[in-house]
Amino acid sequence: MRIVNGESLLFVGDSITDCGRDRPIGAGAGLGDGYVSLIDSFLAADYPERAIRVLNTGVNGNRVIDLDARWQADVLELAPDWLAVMIGINDVWWQFDNQRDPNQVTIARYETIYRKLLEQTRHKLKGLVLTTPYIIEPNLSDPMRERMDAYGRVVERLAHEFDAVFVNVQAAFDLYLAHRPAQSLSDDRVHPNKTGHMIIAKCFLASVESD
């Protein structure tokens, strides 16, 4: 486990991270009811000798442009030791469900803004974790799946560029989807049930725990 005793771990992202967390900052019992809370519990159970402070500033509906607007208050001012980012699902989803929105986040814009945020932050951190956006869809030719995979490749590229732990949540969902239908995890292919959040949490921990 790369996160050591006394360090803080901040999660930032969209509704998948938010999951009803407390405002202004989710902590303790106020981490929400998603993967962030599960990770906090796993850390306590598996590493009782390490006091790792887990924080959550996910916000429903966020895209990378929204992270840009609140980065100072919700990331930099909190000065975490470790930062975990999962963003991009809404950036893609809005291109299909909100096609008339003139403020779409193209893949080039996504990468430019994401890189700018990491450039502001990486040197302040002991560790960085970048998690792919995902869609719970096994058909690789599905248009939204194709585009989500492209955004995921941007995240992988940024993870290498900024010496970050790369968490391929899409690949973890794909392993599950090889055996069970997407409907067993989500009604809308995006918001997972408890099993889906468990898959995210286990994938995150396996990546951070590996050498």
Peptide bond preceding 24 in cis form (omega within 30 of 0): yes
Q: CA 92, 96, 99: angle at the middle one, nearest 5? A: 110
Active site residue 123: no
Catalytic residue among 68, 174, 186, 191: 191
Q: Indicate if the alpha-carbon torsion angle 37, 38, 43, 44 is positive or negative.
A: positive
Task: Give me the phi and psi of 87, to 5 degrees please.
Answer: -145, 150
Catalytic residue among 15, 74, 91, 207: 15
Show the DSSP H helices in 7-106 as ranges: 15-18, 35-46, 64-74, 89-97
Active site residue 15: yes
Active site residue 191: yes
C-beta separation of 208 from 165 below 8 A: yes
Q: Would you state the structure tokens that stand for residue 143, as one six-digit string? A: 């248009």
Q: For residue 117, give every residue at least 6 positions away whose Cβ sits within 8 Å of its Cβ, in sequence order, or none.
A: 64, 67, 68, 71, 75
Q: Would you state the structure tokens that stand for residue 117, as one six-digit string? A: 């945020």
Catalytic residue among 101, 163, 187, 188: 188
Which positions are catalytic?
Answer: 15, 188, 191
